[in-house]
Homo-oligomer: A and B are copies of this chain.
Amino acid sequence: MKRSLGAKTLVYPTPVFVVGTYDAKGKPNVMTASWGGICCSRPPCVAVSLRGATYTHGNIVVRKAFTISIPSEAHVKAADYIGMVSGRDVDKFAATKLTPVRSELVDAPYVKEFPMIVECRLVHTFELGLHTQFVGEVLDVKVDEAALNSDGTADIKKVNPLVFTPDTQAYYGIGAFIAKAFSVGEGI
């Protein structure tokens, strides 16, 4: 038997993206966002939704670029902090002792210490209500050598990303390998 929880923002899993931007003066900033995901394969695009009131929103409008740095479980304190304070008030890189790296591909910084980063050029801006959805074309994905498999693919258990639960407002880790996709369902 299912219980109705009402009209709310709740799906599982929800990601923890740390969105990197420069402000108009060139100060690097980061903010944590969980409303987003991949949205197109060709061109490869990822969407991130932000409230108009955020500092990052204005930065993306001006710079037309952003990065997504994906924190590991080890970075949970920093990722949570980055979602609680505004770049208007605080230098979040300094406060977290994280290192901004200037992307060579887009006009935005990423977080050196995080194991996976995605560099995006803004291609669409959609006003959806409280949130603006920014769609970025992925120009590159970079992953720490230590988080790669021997065949050069990214190992999710080594990237060890966070999962956010919108309903209970908590962070969870990634569990065990279950099955190969486009394979386990054959001959059901």
Contacts and interface: CB of A to CB of B under 8 A. Distances in A.
A45 interface: yes
Contacts of A35: 37-41
Total identical chains: 2
Interface in A18-70: 34-47, 49, 51, 68, 70
A185 B85 CA distance: 10
A182 B76 CA distance: 11
A4 to B, nearest CB: 5
A3 B143 contact: yes
A139 B83 CA distance: 27
Contact of A145 (B3, B45, B126, B176): B3
What interface size band does chain A fall in? Answer: 35 or more
Contacts of A167: 153-154
A40 B11 CA distance: 12
B38 A70 contact: no
Contacts of A12: 15, 70, 116, 154, 156, 159, 161, 174
Given A45-B128, A76-B179, 16 more contacts: A2-B144, A3-B144, A9-B40, A15-B37, A36-B38, A39-B131, A41-B131, A79-B185, A81-B185, A124-B128, A126-B126, A156-B163, A163-B174, A170-B179, A172-B178, A175-B175
